[in-house]
Homo-oligomer: A and B are copies of this chain.
Amino acid sequence: MLLPELREQVWRANMDLQVHNLVTFTWGNVSGIDRETGLVAIKPSGVVYEDLSPENMVLVDLDGNIVQGDLKPSSDTATHLALYRAFKDMGGIVHTHSSYATSWAQAGAAIPAFGTTHADYFYGNIPCARALTEQEIKHDYELNTGKVIIETIGETDPMAIPGILVREHAPFTWGKDPNNAVHNAVVVEEVAKMAYRTITINPSTLPIPQTLLDKHYLRKHGKDAYYGQK
């Protein structure tokens, strides 16, 4: 079996979606990439979590050809691959329909950076992509979903805001590896929940000032970080 370690990581990350209450039934998938070989391990499509194993993760190349695996890969594979091709720092990608984040995506609204919980992980609002056009939906839908995500990210550093809302759909998050991408999926759901409650209490709440965003993001990330043990 190729890439046993990556398979193990991707399998465990998929199982963790359940541990963190991010999925109902099979509504979520995680992938991970081995940059050396350019191979991606991803959850098979529509398989229940209890039946997953490191062995039945599907290996595909960056063009979507199945390299190893008897099952069909996730129906969202083309979205994952588009992101891996565009952004070299992404090591893992997660897609869920977690409840609060999906509600923001359905409402077509970015999640504002309302507090330090958000700023500890996301260096700005979590954007909501534009709706796909009729043509983008009809042909190569999953690929176009990836393209719209890439268009929304634009020139910003995707690793500084490691998640996005796909409008009328649900969130995608990413990270340096599959585990880190799941971590960010949990954070998106938690800040989506807090932001929801914040605007209910005070609909005119403004995002936090740049100085506070800098302070919290940079105490956890970059060369001057001082949070944690490193």
A: residues with CB less than 8 A from B are 24-25, 27, 44-47, 71-72, 75, 97, 99-100, 102-109, 114-117, 131-132, 134, 137-138, 141, 168-170, 183, 186-187, 190, 193-202, 205, 208-209, 211-212, 215, 219, 226-229
Contact = CB atoms under 8 A, between A and B. Distances in A.
Given A190-B24, A196-B197, A201-B109, A228 B117 contact: no
A176 to B, nearest CB: 16
Given A168-B116, A190-B24, A198-B107, A211 B134 contact: yes
Given A109-B201, A190-B99, A197-B99, A25 B114 contact: no
Nearest to A228: B46
A53 B190 CA distance: 27
Nearest to A115: B106
A102 B75 contact: no
Contact of A209 (B47, B134, B197): B134
Number of copies: 4
In this complex, the member of A75, A170, A212, A226 whose beta carbon has the largest number of chain B beta carbons within 10 angstroms is A212
Contact of A229 (B47, B132, B197): B47
A75 B227 contact: yes
B99 A138 contact: no
Given A132-B212, A201-B196, A27 B117 contact: yes
B227 A137 contact: no
Contacts of A211: 134, 137-138
A194 B229 contact: no
Nearest to A201: B107
Given A107-B201, A196-B200, A25 B183 contact: yes
A194 B116 contact: no
A169 B116 contact: yes
Contacts of A106: 114-115, 194-195, 198, 205
B169 A115 contact: yes
Nearest to A120: B27
